[in-house]
Structure 1
Protein backbone atom coordinates (compact mmCIF):
# COMPACT_ATOMS: atom_id res chain seq x y z
CA UNK A 1 0.00 0.00 0.00
CA UNK A 2 1.32 3.40 -0.97
CA UNK A 3 1.55 6.12 1.68
CA UNK A 4 -0.21 9.43 1.24
CA UNK A 5 2.13 12.14 -0.06
CA UNK A 6 -0.29 15.07 -0.14
CA UNK A 7 -3.18 16.12 2.07
CA UNK A 8 -5.74 18.56 0.73
CA UNK A 9 -6.15 21.45 3.24
CA UNK A 10 -9.54 22.58 4.48
CA UNK A 11 -11.47 24.72 2.01
CA UNK A 12 -11.28 27.92 4.08
CA UNK A 13 -7.52 27.48 4.43
CA UNK A 14 -7.17 26.97 0.66
CA UNK A 15 -9.16 30.16 0.05
CA UNK A 16 -6.92 32.08 2.47
CA UNK A 17 -9.84 32.91 4.76
CA UNK A 18 -9.04 31.05 8.01
CA UNK A 19 -5.82 30.49 9.92
CA UNK A 20 -6.93 27.45 11.94
CA UNK A 21 -4.03 27.41 14.41
CA UNK A 22 -4.63 31.07 15.28
CA UNK A 23 -8.41 30.50 15.47
CA UNK A 24 -7.94 27.57 17.84
CA UNK A 25 -5.75 29.60 20.19
CA UNK A 26 -8.33 32.43 20.23
CA UNK A 27 -11.16 30.00 20.97
CA UNK A 28 -9.20 28.38 23.80
CA UNK A 29 -9.26 31.72 25.63
CA UNK A 30 -12.99 31.20 26.22
CA UNK A 31 -13.69 34.89 25.58
CA UNK A 32 -15.79 36.40 22.80
CA UNK A 33 -13.70 37.58 19.84
CA UNK A 34 -13.51 41.16 18.60
CA UNK A 35 -13.39 40.42 14.86
CA UNK A 36 -12.11 43.36 12.79
CA UNK A 37 -12.21 43.24 9.00
CA UNK A 38 -10.95 46.11 6.89
CA UNK A 39 -11.86 46.86 3.31
CA UNK A 40 -10.62 49.57 0.98
CA UNK A 41 -13.41 52.06 1.71
CA UNK A 42 -15.06 50.56 4.81
CA UNK A 43 -14.34 48.78 8.07
CA UNK A 44 -16.40 46.26 10.01
CA UNK A 45 -16.18 45.14 13.64
CA UNK A 46 -18.09 42.33 15.35
CA UNK A 47 -18.17 40.70 18.76
CA UNK A 48 -18.45 36.98 18.02
CA UNK A 49 -18.95 34.04 20.41
CA UNK A 50 -18.15 30.43 19.57
CA UNK A 51 -20.98 27.91 19.24
CA UNK A 52 -20.55 24.27 18.11
CA UNK A 53 -23.04 24.71 15.26
CA UNK A 54 -21.49 28.01 14.10
CA UNK A 55 -20.24 31.26 15.60
CA UNK A 56 -22.82 33.71 16.98
CA UNK A 57 -22.53 37.45 16.27
CA UNK A 58 -23.39 39.31 19.49
CA UNK A 59 -22.74 42.88 18.30
CA UNK A 60 -21.78 44.24 14.89
CA UNK A 61 -21.01 47.63 13.34
CA UNK A 62 -20.22 48.57 9.75
CA UNK A 63 -18.71 51.96 8.99
CA UNK A 64 -21.83 52.82 6.94
CA UNK A 65 -23.68 53.11 10.29
CA UNK A 66 -21.60 56.17 11.18
CA UNK A 67 -23.87 58.24 8.92
CA UNK A 68 -26.58 57.97 11.60
CA UNK A 69 -24.28 59.93 13.92
CA UNK A 70 -23.51 62.69 11.41
CA UNK A 71 -20.29 61.26 9.94
CA UNK A 72 -19.80 62.69 6.44
CA UNK A 73 -16.11 62.00 5.78
CA UNK A 74 -14.59 58.83 4.32
CA UNK A 75 -15.48 55.53 5.97
CA UNK A 76 -12.19 53.72 5.45
CA UNK A 77 -9.78 55.95 7.38
CA UNK A 78 -8.32 55.81 10.90
CA UNK A 79 -10.77 58.28 12.53
CA UNK A 80 -13.78 56.38 11.15
CA UNK A 81 -12.26 53.07 12.33
CA UNK A 82 -11.89 54.58 15.81
CA UNK A 83 -15.56 55.64 15.79
CA UNK A 84 -16.60 52.15 14.63
CA UNK A 85 -14.70 50.76 17.63
CA UNK A 86 -16.49 53.13 20.00
CA UNK A 87 -19.86 52.13 18.57
CA UNK A 88 -19.27 48.37 18.71
CA UNK A 89 -17.92 48.79 22.26
CA UNK A 90 -21.12 50.59 23.30
CA UNK A 91 -23.24 47.84 21.71
CA UNK A 92 -21.17 45.16 23.49
CA UNK A 93 -21.59 46.86 26.87
CA UNK A 94 -25.35 47.09 26.26
CA UNK A 95 -25.33 43.28 25.91
CA UNK A 96 -23.19 42.92 29.07
CA UNK A 97 -19.99 41.92 27.24
CA UNK A 98 -17.13 43.35 29.27
CA UNK A 99 -14.18 41.39 27.87
CA UNK A 100 -13.04 40.16 24.46
CA UNK A 101 -9.94 39.07 22.56
CA UNK A 102 -8.83 40.66 19.26
CA UNK A 103 -9.13 38.58 16.08
CA UNK A 104 -7.53 40.23 13.03
CA UNK A 105 -7.89 37.16 10.82
CA UNK A 106 -5.51 37.05 7.86
CA UNK A 107 -4.79 40.80 7.93
CA UNK A 108 -1.16 41.70 8.70
CA UNK A 109 -0.51 43.26 12.09
CA UNK A 110 0.72 46.81 11.40
CA UNK A 111 1.42 49.19 14.26
CA UNK A 112 -0.97 52.18 14.28
CA UNK A 113 -3.26 50.73 11.58
CA UNK A 114 -7.04 50.95 11.26
CA UNK A 115 -7.41 47.59 12.99
CA UNK A 116 -5.78 48.99 16.11
CA UNK A 117 -7.84 52.19 15.82
CA UNK A 118 -10.93 49.99 16.22
CA UNK A 119 -9.26 48.33 19.22
CA UNK A 120 -8.62 51.74 20.79
CA UNK A 121 -12.27 52.70 20.30
CA UNK A 122 -13.52 49.48 21.88
CA UNK A 123 -11.26 49.86 24.92
CA UNK A 124 -12.30 53.51 25.35
CA UNK A 125 -15.94 52.41 25.29
CA UNK A 126 -15.20 50.20 28.32
CA UNK A 127 -14.63 46.69 26.96
CA UNK A 128 -11.39 45.09 28.19
CA UNK A 129 -9.31 43.67 25.31
CA UNK A 130 -5.74 42.58 26.17
CA UNK A 131 -3.18 44.54 24.11
CA UNK A 132 0.07 46.48 24.27
CA UNK A 133 -0.47 50.25 24.24
CA UNK A 134 2.54 50.71 21.94
CA UNK A 135 0.68 49.25 18.96
CA UNK A 136 -2.22 51.73 19.05
CA UNK A 137 -2.29 54.75 16.72
CA UNK A 138 -1.41 58.13 18.29
CA UNK A 139 -4.26 60.31 19.55
CA UNK A 140 -3.62 62.90 16.81
CA UNK A 141 -4.37 60.33 14.09
CA UNK A 142 -7.51 59.08 15.87
CA UNK A 143 -8.85 62.64 16.03
CA UNK A 144 -7.99 63.42 12.39
CA UNK A 145 -5.36 66.09 13.11
CA UNK A 146 -3.10 64.59 10.44
CA UNK A 147 -5.83 65.15 7.81
CA UNK A 148 -6.36 68.76 8.91
CA UNK A 149 -2.61 69.43 8.95
CA UNK A 150 -2.15 67.96 5.47
CA UNK A 151 -5.15 69.89 4.10
CA UNK A 152 -3.88 73.18 5.50
CA UNK A 153 -0.48 72.65 3.86
CA UNK A 154 -1.94 72.28 0.33
CA UNK A 155 -2.58 75.14 -2.14
CA UNK A 156 -6.27 75.88 -2.92
CA UNK A 157 -6.35 74.18 -6.35
CA UNK A 158 -4.68 71.01 -5.11
CA UNK A 159 -6.91 70.95 -2.02
CA UNK A 160 -10.04 70.95 -4.19
CA UNK A 161 -8.86 68.01 -6.28
CA UNK A 162 -7.40 65.90 -3.44
CA UNK A 163 -10.38 66.38 -1.11
CA UNK A 164 -13.17 66.50 -3.72
CA UNK A 165 -15.06 63.71 -1.92
CA UNK A 166 -15.02 65.72 1.30
CA UNK A 167 -16.30 68.79 -0.57
CA UNK A 168 -19.18 66.79 -2.09
CA UNK A 169 -20.26 65.56 1.34
CA UNK A 170 -19.92 69.01 2.91
CA UNK A 171 -16.92 68.40 5.16
CA UNK A 172 -14.03 70.84 5.40
CA UNK A 173 -10.88 68.69 5.78
CA UNK A 174 -9.15 71.38 7.85
CA UNK A 175 -11.97 71.00 10.43
CA UNK A 176 -11.70 67.21 10.64
CA UNK A 177 -10.86 67.31 14.34
CA UNK A 178 -14.16 69.03 15.21
CA UNK A 179 -16.09 66.62 12.96
CA UNK A 180 -14.60 63.57 14.72
CA UNK A 181 -15.28 65.10 18.14
CA UNK A 182 -18.92 65.87 17.29
CA UNK A 183 -19.56 62.29 16.09
CA UNK A 184 -17.77 60.86 19.12
CA UNK A 185 -20.02 62.86 21.47
CA UNK A 186 -23.14 61.59 19.67
CA UNK A 187 -21.93 57.98 19.90
CA UNK A 188 -21.04 58.26 23.59
CA UNK A 189 -24.38 59.90 24.44
CA UNK A 190 -26.25 56.99 22.80
CA UNK A 191 -27.95 54.86 25.48
Structure 2
Protein backbone atom coordinates (compact mmCIF):
# COMPACT_ATOMS: atom_id res chain seq x y z
CA UNK A 1 0.00 0.00 0.00
CA UNK A 2 1.37 3.36 -0.98
CA UNK A 3 0.82 6.71 0.71
CA UNK A 4 -2.35 7.19 -1.36
CA UNK A 5 -3.78 3.72 -0.68
CA UNK A 6 -3.86 0.52 -2.70
CA UNK A 7 -2.78 0.53 -6.32
CA UNK A 8 -3.76 -2.10 -8.90
CA UNK A 9 -0.71 -3.08 -10.94
CA UNK A 10 -2.06 -6.20 -12.66
CA UNK A 11 -5.45 -7.82 -13.11
CA UNK A 12 -7.02 -10.81 -14.80
CA UNK A 13 -10.59 -11.88 -15.36
CA UNK A 14 -11.84 -15.36 -16.11
CA UNK A 15 -13.19 -14.09 -19.44
CA UNK A 16 -9.58 -13.37 -20.44
CA UNK A 17 -8.98 -17.13 -20.58
CA UNK A 18 -10.78 -17.32 -23.94
CA UNK A 19 -7.63 -15.85 -25.50
CA UNK A 20 -5.83 -19.03 -24.42
CA UNK A 21 -8.52 -21.40 -25.68
CA UNK A 22 -10.81 -21.70 -22.62
CA UNK A 23 -14.25 -22.88 -23.76
CA UNK A 24 -15.78 -24.05 -20.47
CA UNK A 25 -17.88 -21.95 -18.09
CA UNK A 26 -15.85 -19.62 -15.88
CA UNK A 27 -17.47 -19.94 -12.44
CA UNK A 28 -15.55 -23.02 -11.32
CA UNK A 29 -12.33 -24.02 -9.56
CA UNK A 30 -10.35 -24.80 -12.75
CA UNK A 31 -11.08 -21.39 -14.25
CA UNK A 32 -10.21 -19.73 -10.91
CA UNK A 33 -6.81 -21.45 -10.87
CA UNK A 34 -6.11 -20.50 -14.51
CA UNK A 35 -7.20 -16.90 -13.89
CA UNK A 36 -4.76 -16.77 -10.98
CA UNK A 37 -2.03 -18.17 -13.20
CA UNK A 38 -2.74 -15.47 -15.78
CA UNK A 39 -2.74 -12.81 -13.05
CA UNK A 40 0.62 -14.06 -11.79
CA UNK A 41 2.09 -13.83 -15.30
CA UNK A 42 0.77 -10.30 -15.73
CA UNK A 43 2.15 -9.19 -12.35
CA UNK A 44 5.57 -10.61 -13.22
CA UNK A 45 5.41 -8.89 -16.63
CA UNK A 46 4.78 -5.63 -14.75
CA UNK A 47 7.97 -6.30 -12.73
CA UNK A 48 6.20 -7.30 -9.52
CA UNK A 49 7.46 -10.47 -7.88
CA UNK A 50 5.37 -10.61 -4.72
CA UNK A 51 1.82 -9.98 -3.59
CA UNK A 52 -0.53 -10.50 -0.66
CA UNK A 53 -3.93 -12.17 -0.95
CA UNK A 54 -6.73 -9.99 0.44
CA UNK A 55 -10.08 -11.78 0.39
CA UNK A 56 -11.84 -8.96 2.21
CA UNK A 57 -14.84 -10.10 4.20
CA UNK A 58 -15.12 -13.41 2.35
CA UNK A 59 -14.87 -16.55 4.45
CA UNK A 60 -11.47 -18.25 4.19
CA UNK A 61 -12.78 -21.66 3.15
CA UNK A 62 -10.02 -24.18 2.39
CA UNK A 63 -10.16 -25.38 -1.21
CA UNK A 64 -12.21 -22.39 -2.36
CA UNK A 65 -11.90 -20.45 -5.60
CA UNK A 66 -10.08 -17.61 -3.78
CA UNK A 67 -7.29 -20.00 -2.84
CA UNK A 68 -7.30 -21.55 -6.32
CA UNK A 69 -6.60 -18.08 -7.73
CA UNK A 70 -3.79 -17.70 -5.20
CA UNK A 71 -2.31 -21.09 -6.08
CA UNK A 72 -2.40 -20.28 -9.79
CA UNK A 73 -0.56 -17.00 -9.19
CA UNK A 74 2.04 -18.78 -7.04
CA UNK A 75 2.54 -21.47 -9.69
CA UNK A 76 3.08 -18.72 -12.27
CA UNK A 77 6.01 -17.52 -10.15
CA UNK A 78 4.52 -14.83 -7.92
CA UNK A 79 5.68 -14.93 -4.29
CA UNK A 80 2.59 -14.88 -2.07
CA UNK A 81 2.67 -15.84 1.62
CA UNK A 82 0.35 -18.82 2.06
CA UNK A 83 -0.50 -21.97 3.95
CA UNK A 84 -0.55 -25.12 1.82
CA UNK A 85 -3.38 -26.54 3.92
CA UNK A 86 -5.94 -24.20 2.30
CA UNK A 87 -5.10 -25.25 -1.25
CA UNK A 88 -7.35 -27.68 -3.12
CA UNK A 89 -6.05 -31.03 -4.32
CA UNK A 90 -4.60 -30.79 -7.82
CA UNK A 91 -7.36 -33.09 -9.09
CA UNK A 92 -9.94 -30.48 -8.04
CA UNK A 93 -7.99 -27.64 -9.66
CA UNK A 94 -8.09 -29.67 -12.90
CA UNK A 95 -11.85 -30.20 -12.54
CA UNK A 96 -11.77 -33.97 -12.15
CA UNK A 97 -14.61 -33.76 -9.61
CA UNK A 98 -16.73 -31.87 -12.16
CA UNK A 99 -15.96 -34.39 -14.91
CA UNK A 100 -16.81 -37.30 -12.58
CA UNK A 101 -20.12 -35.69 -11.69
CA UNK A 102 -20.91 -34.96 -15.34
CA UNK A 103 -20.32 -38.62 -16.24
CA UNK A 104 -23.07 -39.65 -13.80
CA UNK A 105 -25.70 -37.41 -15.39
CA UNK A 106 -28.16 -38.39 -18.11
CA UNK A 107 -28.13 -34.85 -19.53
CA UNK A 108 -25.10 -32.63 -20.24
CA UNK A 109 -23.92 -30.65 -17.21
CA UNK A 110 -23.43 -27.45 -19.20
CA UNK A 111 -25.60 -25.98 -21.91
CA UNK A 112 -23.80 -25.35 -25.18
CA UNK A 113 -21.14 -27.39 -26.91
CA UNK A 114 -18.64 -27.91 -24.08
CA UNK A 115 -18.52 -31.46 -22.68
CA UNK A 116 -17.83 -31.27 -18.93
CA UNK A 117 -16.46 -34.82 -18.93
CA UNK A 118 -13.47 -33.42 -20.85
CA UNK A 119 -12.76 -30.60 -18.37
CA UNK A 120 -9.48 -31.96 -16.92
CA UNK A 121 -7.94 -32.40 -20.37
CA UNK A 122 -9.21 -28.98 -21.43
CA UNK A 123 -7.68 -27.46 -18.27
CA UNK A 124 -4.31 -29.06 -19.10
CA UNK A 125 -4.45 -27.70 -22.65
CA UNK A 126 -5.23 -24.14 -21.55
CA UNK A 127 -2.58 -24.25 -18.80
CA UNK A 128 -0.07 -25.37 -21.44
CA UNK A 129 -1.14 -22.45 -23.66
CA UNK A 130 -0.59 -20.04 -20.76
CA UNK A 131 2.84 -21.53 -20.06
CA UNK A 132 3.87 -21.36 -23.73
CA UNK A 133 3.02 -17.65 -23.75
CA UNK A 134 5.75 -16.93 -21.17
**TM-score w.r.t. length of structure 1:** 0.67
- Unpaired runs of 5+ residues, structure 2, are none
1:122 partnered with 2:94: no
Q: What is the CA–CA distance in structure 2 between the aligned matches of 1:138 and 1:114, rounded to whole Å?
A: 12
- Which segment drifts farther, 67-76 or 82-91? 67-76
Greater share of residues in strand: 1
Q: 1:171 — aligned with what? A: 114
Secondary structure of 2:12's counterpart equals: strand
Q: 1:146 — aligned with what? A: 97
**1:54: Cα distance to partner?**
4.0
1:91 equivalent among 42, 52, 60:
42
Q: What is the CA–CA distance in structure 2 between the aligned matches of 1:85 and 1:138, rounded to whole Å?
A: 16
List structure 1 segments (4+ residues) > 2 angstroms apart after TM superposition.
Answer: 50-55
Secondary structure of 2:69's counterpart equals: helix
Change (3 A) 1:164 1:127: closer
- The structure, 1 or 2, with the larger RCO (C-alpha pairs under 8 Å, 6+ apart) is 2
**1:183: Cα distance to partner?**
0.7
1:56-106 CA distance string (max 9 Å, x none): 210000111111111111111100000000000011111221111111111
Task: Work out which of the two has the higher radius of gyration on C-alpha atoms and give 1 or 2.
Answer: 1
- Unpaired runs of 5+ residues, structure 1, are 1-49
1:53 partnered with 2:11: no
Please say if residues 26 and 32 of structure 2, whose CA atoms lie closer than 8 Å, have aligned partners that are also in contact.
Answer: yes
2:22 equivalent among 71, 76, 80:
71
Secondary structure of 2:88's counterpart equals: coil
